[in-house]
Amino acid sequence: MDDPFEFGAIAAANALSDVYAMGGTPFLALNIAAFPANLPVEVLAMILRGAGEKVREAGAVIVGGHTIKDVEPKFGLVAVGMVSTGETLTKAGFKPGDKLVLTKPIGSGILTTALKNGQLEPAHLKEVVSWMSRLNGPASELARKHAVRGATDITGFGLLGHALEAADASLARLHFSYDSIPRYAGAEHHAVYGSIPGGSADNQLLFAERVKIDDAIDPAGRTLLYDAQTSGGLLLSVPGKQLPAFMRSAAAENMAAWIVGRVEEGQGVQVSRDAVG
């Protein structure tokens, strides 16, 4: 991000997501930063302010941290949270018969790479910043209320990489409907024209042998499925009986949620072009 306030806010939301992905509530955080000596103090202040306001929004506090000098700016949080016994969300909780629900679109890695290349439209930048800055707290809380036990957040390994981790941990197969998966506006366009982060290409090399993708899905679509996300959404395994109530609650709370597939007996990950009921 070119804007230091947004840089800090997104970094904080990304770090706090690890707590939310396990059903926890953040209560404290530490700033961890590496800044160039020639970076203006005002820029540093805005990064820390962006993170601080996001941590405050989460109901937590920043209690300190550590900063060193480095040649390029790096910033994140050590985030600590608590979860009640019996309410933990884990990658091992995806059960056959559950429905897969995703709470943010995919494609942020492609769009931020397009931004680095000076090719991203302002409207698309505004959309992706808004989503990456959004906390996963409401989705995590709603999951706990509706007896969800399987969850992971979608970050550096992309949708399919994190789904494969969940499939392995749960001894199940995750079956996605490609057309049901939300994508950022412009993401497919920029994937076609080569704005692909290195992490996304690495994901495809690492995971492709264990993922079955419908031949009708073009190369740009496949790239999106492996795209390395920053501050992506939660992938939830919602029990079938709980799904109608979960979706009604999400709509009532104005929380985004897309039904993107189901959990089946088997292993690995499958992506079909047909709808997955």
The verdict on 72 and 52 lying in the same domain is: yes
Contact 271, 210 (CB under 8 A): no
pLDDT of the residue at 1: 82
The verdict on 106 and 187 lying in the same domain is: yes
pLDDT tens-digit readout, 68-82: 999 999 999 999 999
SS3 224: helix
**At which of 82, 117, 137 does a domain end?**
82
Name which residue leads in pLDDT, 11 or 87: 11
pLDDT of the residue at 277: 66
pLDDT of the residue at 273: 87
**At which of 64, 82, 100 does a domain end?**
82
What residue numbers bound the domain in which 214 lies? 91-272
Retrieve residue 222's tokens.
């496949």
pLDDT tens-digit readout, 5-16: 999 999 999 999
Contact 235, 100 (CB under 8 A): yes
**Percentage with pLDDT > 70 across the chain:** 99
Check pLDDT > 90 for residue 130: yes
SS3 44: helix
Alpha helices in 75-157 (DSSP H): 108-116, 122-132, 137-145
The verdict on 100 and 231 lying in the same domain is: yes
pLDDT of the residue at 86: 86
pTM here?
A: 0.94
- CATH number (domain holding residue 21): 3.30.1330.10
Mean of the per-residue pLDDT values for the chain?
Answer: 94
Count of structural domains within the chain: 2
pLDDT tens-digit readout, 44-59: 999 999 999 999 999 9
**At which of 55, 82, 109 does a domain end?**
82
Distance between CA atoms of residues 17 and 57, nearest Å: 13
- CATH number (domain holding residue 154): 3.90.650.10
Tell which residue, 159, 199, 153, 165, has the closest CA to residue 181.
159
The verdict on 134 and 69 lying in the same domain is: no
Check pLDDT > 70 for residue 119: yes
> Of all helices (H) and strands (E), which one includes residue 45?
helix 41-57
The verdict on 106 and 74 lying in the same domain is: no
- For 166-171, what is the mean pLDDT? 98
pLDDT tier at 234, thresholds 50, 70, 90: very high
pLDDT of the residue at 194: 81
Distance between CA atoms of residues 223 and 204, nearest Å: 7
Q: 106 pairs with which residues across the strands?
A: 183
